Every structure is written in structure tokens, then in C-alpha cells.
Amino acid sequence: MKNVMIAFTLFAVMIVCIFISSSYINRTCIHLQNLNSTLESYIIKDKYQDAYNLSLDYIAKWNKTSKFLTLYMHHEDLDYIDTEILKLTQYIKNEDKSEGLATVHVLKHLVSHIMAHERVSIGNVF
């Protein structure tokens, strides 16, 4: 009976941790999507200095977040985001509007991809 209680307790703790980490990942991704939208609007309005400053903040936020995400995500997905963020800063610095907007769009897609994979659902369990 003691072994059953220990196993059940560990299972319950694991389920709670899954929901907490999933909630954290979703909140973080929503924040990153908001940054993406703001970056996009700055680039469209040709506010390159504001966009560049925000892209540096984006890098700082991503570096802080990606350390935690490496526990749950494929490293390939995280590497794609790292690469796109670095490209974005240079596109903004050189005031390349079309490449900057394309890179922001790719970042939006990659972040939404993370959210979709970390959503608690039957399809993600099996």
C-alpha cells in the first residue's frame, strides 16, 4: 500500500509540474508574440531605432527564456529562433524593410509552433 501511495503522489506532482510549465511556456510565448507585433509595427512605420532597441530587448528576453525551454523543446526549433533574431537585428540596423518584415513573420510562426507543441492535448500525449 505504501508503494501505491508513493507512486500516486509522484504522478500527481508530475501532472502539476506539467501544467505549471505549460502555463509558463504559453505566457512567455504570448509575450514574445506581442513583441513580434510591436516590432512589425515599428518596421512598417519606419521607426528603425525603436525597432532596433526592441530587438535587443527581444534577444535578452529570448536568452533568458530559452534556457528553460531547452528542457522541453527540440534544440533545432530553438536554434531557428536564435538565428532569426540575430538576422532581424541586422536587417533593422540596415533599415531593410522587406527582410525585416519577413523575419518577424518567421519569428511569429516559430513562436506559435512552440505554443502548439506545448499545448496540453490528447494529440500531444500520444
Could you read off the pLDDT of 49-108 as tens digits, one per residue? 999 999 999 999 999 888 888 877 778 888 899 999 999 999 999 999 999 999 999 999
Rounded average pLDDT over 29-58:
93
| pLDDT value for 123 | 60
120 pLDDT exceeds 70?
A: no
pLDDT band at 115; cut points 50, 70, 90: confident
Contact 22, 119 (CB under 8 A): yes
Rounded average pLDDT over 1-24:
88
pTM: 0.83
CA distances (Å), origin 96, targets 13, 24, 80, 93, 105: 49, 34, 20, 8, 14
